Amino acid sequence: MFLIPMENPDKIAIPLFLERCAAGFPSPAQDYTSSELDLNDYCIRHPSATYFVRAQGNSMQDVGMRDGDLLVVDRSLRPQHRDIVIAEVDGGFTVKQLQTTPRLALLPMNNAYSPIYPDPDELTIFGVVTHWVHRARGNL
């Protein structure tokens, strides 16, 4: 697994438009912004416990995660049922949805893959995926 450590970069404020962008029928755009948005503040709540990793493969495609997407992972969060997590399985790392009930499982979000049923005493979670970044241009 290739980890990219989180550093404390300079804040970059990007305009955040007041109007939402319609994904259905278009609406006229407003000529002003409501505030500014810093993606570090938006995506990273615990900088010292956050790291980045790239997704590999298509086992999570049904939730919109694609091969090469940049995952934002927070190690300080306690994994909960249905969280997307980074876990160690058989000496390697995987990104899957955590199922805690009725039986512990790591679920792929692609029917072409099978669930993983780890031994609860041997499962290590390396963090909860809080966001992921998908490059739209050039990947359509």
Q: Which amino acid is at 54?
A: R
Distance CA 96, CA 79 (A): 12
Percent of the chain topping pLDDT 90? 60
In sequence order, the β-bridge partners of residue 131 are 72
Reported as a single tens digit per residue, the pLDDT across 39-84 is: 888 889 998 899 999 999 999 999 999 999 999 999 999 999 999 9
Q: What pLDDT was estimated at residue 13?
A: 63
- Phi, psi angles (nearest 5°) of residue 127: 145, 165
Class of domain 3-7+46-133: mainly beta
End-to-end CA distance of the chain: 25
Peptide bond into 79 cis (omega under 30): no
Catalytic residues: 59, 96
